[in-house]
Each structure stands twice: as structure tokens, then as C-alpha cells.
Amino acid sequence: MTQDSMKAVVYHGPSKKSLDTVPVPKVQKPTDAVVRIVTTTICGTDLHILKGDVPAVTEGRILGHEGVGIIESVGDAVSNFKPGDRVLISCITSCGKCEYCKQQMYSHCEDGGWILGHLIDGTQAEYVRIPHADNSLYPIPEGADEEALVMLSDILPTGHEIGVLYGAVKPGDTVAIVGAGPVGMGALLTAQFYSPAKIIMVDLDDGRLEMAKTFGATDLINSGSGDTVAQIMAHTKDGVDVAIEAVGIPHTFDICQQIVRPGGHIANVGVHGTKVDLQIQDLWIKNITLTTGLVNTNTTPMLLKTVTSGKLQPERLISHRFSFDDFMGAYEVFGNASRENAMKVIINND
């Protein structure tokens, strides 16, 4: 590495960010790797950070937790990677040795978890330092679509693990996914591994709903066109087997509480910045299961195989592409997704 400075998206407090010149990160511990970012993206969680919903993110932090890149340098203890290797960066950092990692609860790693773009500098930069590189990076197969693989950093494992697996989707189920954003679409794509009979997609944006139909949704409901709960219930006998909340606001959480059938599951995936009302007086007698969670990325190796084989095609979620110098333009488009018909934006640093 010859350069000492780089461009990066820096958080300066709620609603404030800029593309700044900052020092290039260096290996700090023997288990670190420094990765040159080739392709990255913006997550809905980054927008939550900018709204002030994640107070642990302090001013001066480089944002981002998704991307693919090329190993620039490694610490002495890194054995799985070497400079020049092309890698997928997981949004979750895991040591692989602590009690939580041994339970595959990598999001609660005692020396990691979701730290990129949160507690340490992230991937919306020309270079990023990755702690515990051996357990937090994945080798990219020769010839793989690297833009597609960016979806494996976060949205696909999040939708799959926290929505589909926690929701216990099984053959013949009726599933409602409330929120047709990137993570909701990730849940839609991966729910189909388990052959549900019906997948109802709920959103305010007709464009996103039409996209969901091409991805396998069987029923579309615009939540701005009348009584959403009544519309969903009209598609079912007595509610849905699985309600996946993929927005993160009280209204959508409440919809899920009202549509779940006895014995069903509510899987909350959305990032909530404020409290919700739990309608326990209605739910206690219905034998429902309510789950929440932060992605562990323990299914990433499986998802990587499905993407590289062509069974799963997350590149279809990409709506816009930007150069690194136009990162602020990418934020403008992604932050106004409905107006811009944006789903997932890709930022290239070639």
C-alpha cells in the first residue's frame, strides 16, 4: 500500500455525513486484515444511523458494513487469506472462539458482532480494517458476480435468518412480508427455499410490489389503499402462519400482531428506533411465537453456494450504480427510494 490517505463517508451526527479524506487504516492486531474496497453499498441501517436511531455510532465514524474487496495486508496470525485474495466482507465480525461464537451467535461475539460502521470504521471507504479476518471474510469463487455477492454481506442472511428461519417458514405456509425493501426482498427470495403456499407482500410502493411479484410473491397489497389488515385477512382463512416485519416502525409491527393466526410466528426483522405496543392481551391466548434478532451470518456459506450456482440471483435487486466519487449522490437516491425507484444501490471503487 503506497497511499496514506483515502476517501470515506464519515458520520458527523444525526442527518450529517460527508465524503472526507481520512488516513488509510493499518493492521493493528495479528488477526486483522486490511481490505481495499472494490464494491460496496448503503443499507437501511445506515439511514437509521443518520436519523439518530443508533446512538452508539459516534461522530467521526466511517459508515458501512457491506462490501467485497481485495486483501491489501494481513496480520501475522491470519492463515486463511493473503494479499491479493478477493473476499466478501461479512457485516458481522466474529472471533470464532468465544462462548457466543461456539453457539453460532456471531452477532454477540465477545470481541466483535456488528461493529463495522457502528463501533469501528466501516466499509464505505477505499480501505477497511477487518478484525478477526479468518472468521469475518469469505473467499470469492473465481468468476463470481461480485455485485451479487455484496447482497450476502447483510440483506440476504438477515432476511433468511431473522425473517425466514426465525419465522419457521415451512411447506404450505401462508407468509406475509410487511415491507418490500431490500431486507424484505431478501426474505422473499429465501422463503421460497421452504415452499410456502402463499407469500403476501405488503408495501406502500407499487413499483416495489411489482418487483416482488417477479421475485415470487403470490399476492400484493398496497398498505396505502384502505384497511391493510382486512386486505391481508381476506387472503387467508384466519390469518397468516408467518408475519415478517421488515420496516421497523410501530405501525408495521402492529399490522403483524393483527394478522398472525393461532400457532403462528411474528418474526421482527426491522430496526426499531422507538418503542412499540405489544398487544399481549390479544396474543397470549393465540399460542404465537414472537422473535427478534440481529443477523448472525451463520448461513452465509450456504447462501454463497446458492448465489454462485445461479439458484439465487440477488443481483436483480440492484437498481442503481454509482462511482465512489458520487457516494453522496448514491445516498440521495437511496434515501429517497420511492421517488427514485431505488432498491439496492451499488458503489464501485474500481
Domain boundaries, the chain: 5-154+296-348, 156-291
Least confident of 1-10, 155-164, 262-271, 277-286: 1-10
44: pLDDT strictly greater than 60 = yes
CB 150 within 8 A of CB 40: yes
Mean pLDDT of the chain: 96
Q: Which CATH superfamily is domain 156-291 in?
A: NAD(P)-binding Rossmann-like Domain (3.40.50.720)
Residue 2: pLDDT band by 50, 70, 90 thresholds? low
Closest CA to 259 of 275, 278, 280, 238: 238
CA atoms within 13 A on the CB side of 17: 29
Q: Is the pTM of this model over 0.75?
A: yes
The predicted structure's pLDDT at residue 3: 84
- The three grid cell numbers given for residue 181, joined into one nine-digit string: 425493501
Alpha helices in the chain (DSSP H): 44-50, 99-102, 133-136, 146-150, 155-158, 182-191, 206-214, 228-233, 250-259, 280-283, 300-308, 327-335, 337-340
Write out the E strands in the chain. 5-11, 17-23, 33-41, 67-74, 86-89, 127-130, 137-139, 174-178, 198-203, 219-222, 240-245, 260-268, 289-291, 318-323, 344-348
What pLDDT digit, counting tens, does each position of 240-266 carry?
A: 999 999 999 999 999 999 999 999 999
Buried b (16+ CB within 10 A) or exposed e, 236-267: beebbbbbbbbbbbeebbbbbbbbbbeebbbb
CB 244 within 8 A of CB 200: no
The predicted structure's pLDDT at residue 350: 78
270: pLDDT strictly greater than 60 = yes
Residue written as grid cell 426491522:
270
CB 204 within 8 A of CB 223: yes
1: pLDDT strictly greater than 60 = no
- The CA distance from 160 to 154, in Å, is 10
The predicted structure's pLDDT at residue 40: 98
Pick the CATH number of 5-154+296-348 from 1.20.1250.20, 3.40.50.300, 3.40.50.10780, 3.90.180.10: 3.90.180.10
What pLDDT digit, counting tens, does each position of 45-104 carry?
A: 999 999 998 999 999 999 999 999 999 999 999 999 999 999 999 999 999 999 999 999
CB 267 within 8 A of CB 248: no
CB 185 within 8 A of CB 317: yes
182: pLDDT strictly greater than 70 = yes
At residue 202's C-alpha, the angle toward residues 200 and 205, to 5°, is 135
* Burial class for 188, CB neighbours closer than 10 Å (0-12, 13-18, 19+): buried
